[in-house]
Amino acid sequence: GIAQALLGDPKLIIVDEPTAGLDPGERNRFYNLLSEIGENRIVILSTHIVDDVKELCSNMAIIDKGTLLYSGSPGEALNLLSGKIWAKYISKTEVPEFMQRYNVISTRMVAGRPLIHAYSDTDPGEGFAQSDADLEDVFFSRIARLN
């Protein structure tokens, strides 16, 4: 793995899904290792785990089917969504209706109830609450071509 990649003192290291399957303790150790390696080398990280990006990357890119949708820092990406993410708990039966009426970018189950995140420049009403954007919101809004 990483030890072999460091042989010969390369200037560029590419890692693919490096934390998949690691427990939280091992993930933290690996974050520390990659951060240390990244001080003297370029590290390209390919991952679907957004926490990896948030913890490790000063620059990121979102690519969908070969098209570059975003390139910049995670912080800049989050700033672009500031004030534009709205959250609401709804019933399972309401999901299709809300998907049609709003720019719903994600739905996740929290304690057995769907929590939807919608993208909107203004308050969509209907009990939505403004929510701090996270990198999943950045990813889903870019994939949906909303910002």
Residue with tokens 């390369």, as numbered in its chain: 10
Question: Does residue 117 sit in helix, strand or coil?
Answer: strand
What gap in Å lies between CA 11 and CA 113, rounded to an integer?
47
pTM of the predicted protein model: 0.82
What is the pLDDT tens value at each position of the chain, 147 positions in all?
Answer: 777 878 888 999 998 988 888 999 998 998 899 889 888 899 998 988 887 888 889 999 999 999 999 999 999 999 999 999 999 999 999 999 999 999 999 999 999 999 999 999 999 999 999 999 999 999 999 999 887
Q: Note the pLDDT of residue 89.
A: 98
| Phi, psi for residue 140 in degrees, rounded to 5 | -65, -40
Nearest-CA neighbor of 73 among 54, 62, 55, 60? Answer: 60
Q: Note the pLDDT of residue 30.
A: 87
Q: Note the pLDDT of residue 48.
A: 84
Nearest-CA neighbor of 82 among 138, 124, 136? Answer: 138
CATH number of 2-57: 3.40.50.300
Apex 12 CA angle, 6 and 18, nearest 5:
70
Nearest-CA neighbor of 47 among 56, 38, 35? Answer: 56
Question: Does residue 116 sit in helix, strand or coil?
Answer: strand
